[in-house]
Structure 1
Amino acid sequence: MAVSLRIELFPAELERAVAFYTGGLGFTVEKDDRATGTPYVAVRRDGVRIGLLGSPGTVGDRLPPFGVEIVLEVDDIVAERERIVAAGIPLLDDLQRRVWGLIDFRLLDPDGYFLRFTERANAHD
């Protein structure tokens, strides 16, 4: 049985979040319901889909949780870092080889969601 993952985020400013994920991180808009009573945009990059809900209702129920890290695996970690830095996105933690053997870097999205870009586990095979 196949499984997939879709993440739903609840940004304070929908337009800012869409610009960040599409302009800075290379996602494309897959679904755009900004003109509805419940503004929503889904962005996709390869096998990753992130839904951005513009009016989440009770904000207190949907604040960014502590201890969550969204991990995006890429084929070329150095090229990914260069593209993100060139887009003007500040890094929280620059390229490092971790004790578990992979190289990664970290950043925050405009609403404080913690993103880690890492090389694929089989990148050196």
Structure 2
Amino acid sequence: MRLRIELFVEDMDVSIGFYRDLLGFQVERRDEGYASLRQGQVVLGLGPVAKLPEQAEGQGFTRQRLSGDKGAGVEIVLELDDLDTLQTFYERCQHQATISEPLKLRHWGLHDFRLTDPDGYYLRLTHGNAAGQSW
């Protein structure tokens, strides 16, 4: 099993720039209605909110549904290999992104920081787990 997360965004160019230029993702595919980006084993799909239907029956994504807080209830956790890399990302993000919580050692043994992307999606960057293993 693998994971690819897809986010619906207001401005494809701004979001691609954020993930590519700030977080180091590589654009693997891009067309008018979709972009696929990769950083290591993380695959991120971006699609424009404007291509969604205004309203629909059922629980699918619509422009109306995403008009509120897009990322409510979701934390996207990106694990980096080591603390030095995390520190480098933090220094870069301080000047180019909205930091929600600064880099610090958490009581569970991990260093991390939290930020939001241009659409308000909540990201946590960390360096693995306290034992040095991936979760």
Q: Give the Cα–Cα distance (whole angstroms) in 1 for the partners of residues 87 and 116 of structure 2.
A: 14
- 1:59 lines up with 2:63 in the alignment: yes
Which one of 17, 20, 37 corresponds to residue 19 of structure 1?
17
Alpha-carbon offset, residue 105 of structure 1: 0.6
**Aligned residue pairs, count:** 118
Which amino acid counterpart does residue 132 of structure 2 have in structure 1? A
Structure 2 residue 84 is the aligned partner of structure 1 residue 86: no
What are the ranges of 5 or more consecutive residues in structure 1 without an aligned counterpart? Answer: none
What's the TM-score once normalised by structure 1's chain length? 0.83
Asked if structure 2 preserves the Cα contact closer than 8 Å seen for 1:77 and 1:117, the reply is no
TM-score between both structures, scaled by the size of structure 2: 0.78
**Higher relative contact order at CA 8 Å, sep ≥6: structure 1 or structure 2?**
1
One-letter amino acid of the counterpart of residue 40, structure 1: Y
Distance across 1 between alignment mates of 2:4 and 2:80: 17
Match of 2:82 among 76, 82, 102: 76
Q: Which moved more, 1:79-88 or 1:3-12?
A: 79-88
Same amino acid, percent of matched pairs: 39
Cα deviation, residue 41, structure 1: 0.3
How much has 1:84 moved relative to structure 2?
4.7
Task: Provide, for residues 54-99 of structure 1, a one-character-per-residue CA deviation record: whole Å limited to 9, x for no partner.
Answer: 2341312345141210001111234233235336323221111112
Shift of 1:33: 1.4
Structure 1 residues 123 and 89: CA distance shift in structure 2, 3 A: farther
SS at match of 2:15: helix
Structure 1 stretch 16-25 or stretch 98-107: which is displaced more? Answer: 98-107
- Quote the offset at 1:47 in angstroms: 0.4
The worse-fitting range, judged by mean Cα deviation, of 112-121 and 87-96 is 87-96
Of stretches 98-107 and 51-60 in structure 1, the one that deviates more from structure 2 is 51-60
